[in-house]
Amino acid sequence: MEPSKRLAASLLCWVVIFASSAQTGAHSSTQCHFPAIFNFGDSNSDTGGLSAAFGQAPPPNGESFFHHPAGRYSDGRLVIDFAAQSFGLPYLSAYLDSVGTNFSHGANFATAGSTIRPQNTTLTQTGYSPISLDVQLFQFEQFKSRSGYFRQQGGVFEELLPKQSYFSEALYTFDIGQNDLTAGLFQNLTVEQVKASVPDILEKFSTAIKNVYWQGGRYFWIHNTGPVGCLAYVIDRLPILVPQVDMAGCATPFNHLAQYFNQLLKETVIQLRSDLPDATFTYVDVYSVKYQLISGARKYGFGNPLRACCGHGGKYNYNRYFGCGSAIYKDGQKVVIGKSCNNPSKAIIWDGVHYTQAANQWVFNKIVDGTFSDPPTPLSQACHGHKQ
Ligand SMILES: *[C@@H]1O[C@H](CO)[C@@H](O)[C@H](O)[C@H]1NC(C)=O
Ligand SMILES: *[C@@H]1O[C@H](CO)[C@@H](O)[C@H](O)[C@H]1NC(C)=O
Ligand SMILES: *[C@@H]1O[C@H](CO)[C@@H](O)[C@H](O)[C@H]1NC(C)=O
C-alpha cells in the first residue's frame, strides 16, 4: 500500500473507532473481543447436554423461539444464549451432542441437574446429573487437547473446532450450585446441615476454576445462585410454616441458604483473585436480579411469579410426578398433561424449576451492563476486572 493510502486507511480506522465509541459511551475503547465462550453449569445454562445423554427435554420446551425442543429447559433462549448473541457469537453447542455441533466459538459443558460435588445417587434415583462440575472439567480437558490435535488435520475440523489461542482468549462462564443445595434439602438435611456443607462445595468449585486457569483460561464470569426458595419444585415439596413465607410468597429459609452460599461464593472469588492475579473474575449477583423480578412481577408486566407456565395442576401448576411435557396413555392414546400456558411471554417461571425466555431476557438485560456485578464491569468488558 502506498503511504498516502495507508494514512487514509488508518485515519478511516480511527474514524470508525471514534464513531463507535461515541455511540456506546466513553468505555467502548475497552471492549473485549472474546472469540469463544466455554460454559460450565446446570440447567440454568444447559443448551443440550442432558438431552444428548439422557433423553430430550420434551416439547413444549423450545416452543417460543426454536419452535421445537432445543435441549433447553425453557420455552426459548437462556441467559447464556443472550450472552453469546451479545458478542455476535453463535449459540453454544453442547459438548455431549454428537450431531450438528459446531464448536468453532465455544462449547457448553453444562447439563441439567449438575452439581458441583458429585452425588452418591444415580440420575434415576434422585434426578441429579452424573455430569458434576469435576466431570465437566474432564470433558473440557479432553475437548481442548483433542481439538488441538484434530484442528491440525485441517479440512472440516478447522471450521468446527476452536483455534488453540481461543482457550486463553475466551470467556469462561459458570452458573452452578443450586443443585448442591437442593440435593441436601431433598435428602431431608436441615438448612443448617446444608449450610455446613457449603465450604466443602465451594472448595470443589475453586479447584475447578484453578483447573481451567491451568489450562490457560483467564477471563471468568461467575453467576451466583438464584432465590431457590421462590421455585415451585422446592416450595411444593418442602412445605414450610407461614411465618417463614415472605411478601413475594417465597420460602425465606431456603432463600437465606442461597444467600449464604452466595456470600461464601463471593469470598471464594475474592480468594481466587489473589491466588490467580493474572486472571480476571466477575462475580454476578443473579440472585438479586431474579428476586427483584419475582417480587416486582406485576410492576414489570408479568403474571403470578410463582406459578409455572408449563405444568400440571396444584397451587403452582407444578406436579413433581407430571412435569412440563409429560404425557399419559389413555385408551391407547397419548394425552399430554404437562401443557404450556397461553402466553409464556407473561410468565416468569416456565416449569416450576426454570425460567421462561422472557424472564431470561429480563435477567440478561439487567446483568449485561455490570450493575449487578463485582466489580461493576459490563459483560462486554469482562476481560478487564479489578486486578490485584
Ligand atoms: C459421597 O460419599 C463420599 C464418601 O462417603 C463423601 O465423602 C461425599 O461427601 C459424598 N458426597 C455427597 C454430595 O454427599
Ligand atoms: C461453524 O460456525 C462458524 C461460526 O458461526 C461458521 O463460520 C462455520 O462456517 C461453521 N462451520 C460449519 C462446517 O458449519
Ligand atoms: C424425607 O422425608 C420424607 C417425609 O418424612 C420421606 O417421605 C422421605 O422418604 C425422606 N427422604 C429421604 C431421602 O430420606
- CB neighbourhood size of 255 (10 A): 21
Nearest to 174 by CA among 208, 143, 128, 213: 208
In the predicted model, what is the mean pLDDT of residues 176-184?
A: 98
Per the annotation, the verdict on 43 as an active-site residue is yes
160 lines ligand 2 (CB under 6 A): yes
Residue nearest to atom 2 of ligand 1 (CA): 120
CA-156 nearest atom, ligand 2 = 13
- Mind listing the pLDDT tens digit for each residue in 236-293? 999 888 889 999 999 999 999 999 999 999 999 999 999 999 999 999 999 999 999 9
193 lines ligand 1 (CB under 6 A): no
What is the 186 CA–ligand 3 centroid distance (Å)? Answer: 8
The hierarchical CATH code for the domain 35-299+356-368 is 3.40.50
- Prior bond to 60 cis, omega within 30? yes
Per the annotation, the verdict on 145 as an active-site residue is no
Q: Which of 114, 312, 354, 374 is catalytic?
A: 354
- Mind listing the pLDDT tens digit for each residue in 123-159? 999 999 999 999 999 999 999 999 999 999 999 999 9
At 286, list the grid cell.
443473579
Per the annotation, the verdict on 351 as an active-site residue is yes
Domain ranges across the chain: 35-299+356-368
pLDDT of residue 239: 82
* DSSP state letters, 30-79: G----S-EEEEESTTS-SSHHHHHH----TTTTTTTTSS--S-SSSS--H
* Distance from C-alpha of 173 to C-alpha of 83, rounded to nearest angstrom: 10
* Distance from C-alpha of 325 to C-alpha of 341, rounded to nearest angstrom: 12
90 lines ligand 2 (CB under 6 A): yes
- Mind listing the pLDDT tens digit for each residue in 208-245? 999 999 999 999 999 999 999 999 999 999 988 888 99
pLDDT of residue 30: 85
Report yes or no: 356 and 63 within 8 Å, Cβ to Cβ.
Answer: no
CA-159 nearest atom, ligand 2 = 11
* Distance from C-alpha of 197 to C-alpha of 177, rounded to nearest angstrom: 12
Q: How many CA atoms lie within 13 A of 311 on its CB side?
A: 25
* Distance from C-alpha of 293 to C-alpha of 299, rounded to nearest angstrom: 9
In the predicted model, what is the mean pLDDT of residues 166-191?
A: 98
Share of the chain above pLDDT 90, in %: 90
User: What is the overall mean pLDDT for the chain?
Assistant: 93
* Distance from C-alpha of 340 to C-alpha of 60, rounded to nearest angstrom: 7
DSSP state of 126: H
Share of the chain above pLDDT 70, in %: 91
